[in-house]
């Protein structure tokens, strides 16, 4: 197995600075606790008397965390690493109000004045050292997976082919199971080439034949021509293929956290539901807005979410605060839209600046995009 940026660390090395982040932003050294199977009980962005499956949020460099974690600690890992797009990713939350001298047009050809309420941004670029950055983390991911565990790596067309060759070396080509295509239809359309409207999710298992795949738990989708398959089949629906059609997180939707690299909860719920068992441990070491944790909590799985970014940690703290009173997480449903830019009172809306066409969501630095 090739080395990428120095020798692989070990749990016996000096413990890195790895902190659990409590709801009140307190931190405490978890060197030994991390080694103790990355316990994913109450903690993270919720109170100590939390819901049993409340996600644990850890602010740390992902490689430091992985090197401090005992082998075979997690049954499932999903990561949405930086896409290395070379662009600035930004999400802006606006408030608009009716103003004849405003800066934008709206409902009924009225003018509205917009005010920036919050802004999140990062530079998504690592240049030529991308595999040097990603390689050691994927090696450690393989080490901390259980014997029947699975890894899902979410990338786009810029780096996915390089990552697949790297993962073939780490796991073995026989352990490659699927390239899942997440297809969506959102954003601008270039006139210079075919618009890029999909991401790739690589699935590798530690064992080529023995892994978790809960077929009966797959959410079914409607037949395109239900009249051709009979009433019973039409009512049951069909299982998805390796091409998943799913819109991105709506800019004004209930699910939106404002984090610029947020993935749809439906994607993560499908992965967690099918590729792990109730009560098992799920890890996301590029956690971003924490979608993996919400999916795991709602499905009765423990989860550990790691991110170096203080912005990401604050977003997750806010997102998981309701879990501290023992409330179950519910699948996010689209919010009923009010009339767009209604001239009634002040309207609040979330406006997301155009992201790269090939990637509605990605992450920066050591941050993740889920």
Tens-place pLDDT, residues 174-216: 999 999 999 998 878 999 999 999 999 999 999 999 999 999 9
Q: Count CB-CB contacts under 10 A for residue 357.
A: 16
Distance CA 356, CA 197 (A): 10
Residue 23 has what pLDDT?
Answer: 36
Domain contains 369 = no
Beta bridge partners of 183: 198, 245
Per-residue pLDDT averaged across 103-118, rounded? 62
CA distances (Å), 356 to each of 83, 186, 350, in order? Answer: 11, 11, 18
Considering only 167-171, 287-291, 346-350, 360-364, which range has the smallest mean pLDDT? 346-350
Task: Give DSSP secondary structure letters for 114-125.
Answer: EEEEEEEEEEE-
**Structure token digits, residue 21:** 């982040």
Closest CA to 283 of 106, 170, 137, 85: 137
Residue 188 has what pLDDT?
Answer: 84
pLDDT at 252 over 80: no
Distance CA 360, CA 367 (A): 16
Domain contains 11 = no
Domain contains 145 = yes
Considering only 132-146, 186-200, 246-260, 317-331, which range has the smallest mean pLDDT? 317-331
Domain contains 300 = yes
Q: Greater confidence, 240 or 329?
A: 240
- The count of structural domains within the chain is 1
Considering only 12-26, 157-171, 260-274, 288-302, which range has the smallest mean pLDDT? 12-26
Domain ranges, residue 233 = 19-164+177-351
Q: Evaluate whether 69 touches 276 at the Cβ level (below 8 Å).
A: no
Helical spans, DSSP H, in the chain: 31-35, 62-67, 130-144, 160-171, 231-236, 265-275, 291-298, 310-320
Model confidence pLDDT, tens digit, residues 62-102: 999 999 999 999 999 999 998 644 444 343 444 566 777 76
Closest CA to 126 of 158, 164, 169: 158
**Structure token digits, residue 93:** 């939350």
Residue 22 has what pLDDT?
Answer: 44
Question: What's 334's DSSP letter?
Answer: P
Q: Greater confidence, 279 or 7?
A: 279
Considering only 15-29, 98-112, 126-140, 279-293, which range has the smallest mean pLDDT? 15-29
Residue 258 has what pLDDT?
Answer: 83
Mean pLDDT, rounded, of the chain:
75
Q: Residue 49, class by beta-carbon neighbours within 10 Å (0-12 exposed, 13-18 middle, 19+ buried)? A: exposed
Question: What's 217's DSSP letter?
Answer: G
Q: How far is CA 77 from the centre of its chain?
A: 11
Beta bridge partners of 176: 204
Which pLDDT band holds residue 109 (cuts at 50, 70, 90)? low
Domain contains 361 = no
Sign for the pseudo-dihedral over CA of 24, 25, 28, 32 = positive
**The domain that contains 31 carries what CATH number?**
3.40.50.150
Q: Evaluate whether 45 touches 57 at the Cβ level (below 8 Å).
A: yes
Q: Count CB-CB contacts under 10 A for residue 47.
A: 17
Distance CA 263, CA 152 (A): 14
Model confidence pLDDT, tens digit, residues 210-238: 999 999 999 999 999 999 999 999 999 99
Model confidence pLDDT, tens digit, residues 133-174: 999 999 999 999 999 999 999 999 989 999 999 999 999 999
**97: enclosing H helix or E strand:** strand 87-98
Domain contains 370 = no
Per-residue pLDDT averaged across 256-270, rounded? 92
Query: Strand pairing of 243-245 and 347-351?
Result: unpaired
Distance CA 314, CA 188 (A): 30
* Residue matched to tokens 């080529």: 208
Q: Evaluate whether 326 touches 352 at the Cβ level (below 8 Å).
A: no
Residue 112 has what pLDDT?
Answer: 67
Model confidence pLDDT, tens digit, residues 31-51: 334 433 333 332 333 333 448
**Over pLDDT 90: what percentage of the chain?**
54
Residue 187 has what pLDDT?
Answer: 79
Distance CA 287, CA 64 (A): 15
* Terminal-to-terminal C-alpha distance of the chain: 28
- Mapped onto helix, strand or coil, the DSSP state of residue 57 is strand
pLDDT at 304 over 80: yes
Q: Evaluate whether 20 touches 27 at the Cβ level (below 8 Å).
A: yes
């Amino acid at each position: 197995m090739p080395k990428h940026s120095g020798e692989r660390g070990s749990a016996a090395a000096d413990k890195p600075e790895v902190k659990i982040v409590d709801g009140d932003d307190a931190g405490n050294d978890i060197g030994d606790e991390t080694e103790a199977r990355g316990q994913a009980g109450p903690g993270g962005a919720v109170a100590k008397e939390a819901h049993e499956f409340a996600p644990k949020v850890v602010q740390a460099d992902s490689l430091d965390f992985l090197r401090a974690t005992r082998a075979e600690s997690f049954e499932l890992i999903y990561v949405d690493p930086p896409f290395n797009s070379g662009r600035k990713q930004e999400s802006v939350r606006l408030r608009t109000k009716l103003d004849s001298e405003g800066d934008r047009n709206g409902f009924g050809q009225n003018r509205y004045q917009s005010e920036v309420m919050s802004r999140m941004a990062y530079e998504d670029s690592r240049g030529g050292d991308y595999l040097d950055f990603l390689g050691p983390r994927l090696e450690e991911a393989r080490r901390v997976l259980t014997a029947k565990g699975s890894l899902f790596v979410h990338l786009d067309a810029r780096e996915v082919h390089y990552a697949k060759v790297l993962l073939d070396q780490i796991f073995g080509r026989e352990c490659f199971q699927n390239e899942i295509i997440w297809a969506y239809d959102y954003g601008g359309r270039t006139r210079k080439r075919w618009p890029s409207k999909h991401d790739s999710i690589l699935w590798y298992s530690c064992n080529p034949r023995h892994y978790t795949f809960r077929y009966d738990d797959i959410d079914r989708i409607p037949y395109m021509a239900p009249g051709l398959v009979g009433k019973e089949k039409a009512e049951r629906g069909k299982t998805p293929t390796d091409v998943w059609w799913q819109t991105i997180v709506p800019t004004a939707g209930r699910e939106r956290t404002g984090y610029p690299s947020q993935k749809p909860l439906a994607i993560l719920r499908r992965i967690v539901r099918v590729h792990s068992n109730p009560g098992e441990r799920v890890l996301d070491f590029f956690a971003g807005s924490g979608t993996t944790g919400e999916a795991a909590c709602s499905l009765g799985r423990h989860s550990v979410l790691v991110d170096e970014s203080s912005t990401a940690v604050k977003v997750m703290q806010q997102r998981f605060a309701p879990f501290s009173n023992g409330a179950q997480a519910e699948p996010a449903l689209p919010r009923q839209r009010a009339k767009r830019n209604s001239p009634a009172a002040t309207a609040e809306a979330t406006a997301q600046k155009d992201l790269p066409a090939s990637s509605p969501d990605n992450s920066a630095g050591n941050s993740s995009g889920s």
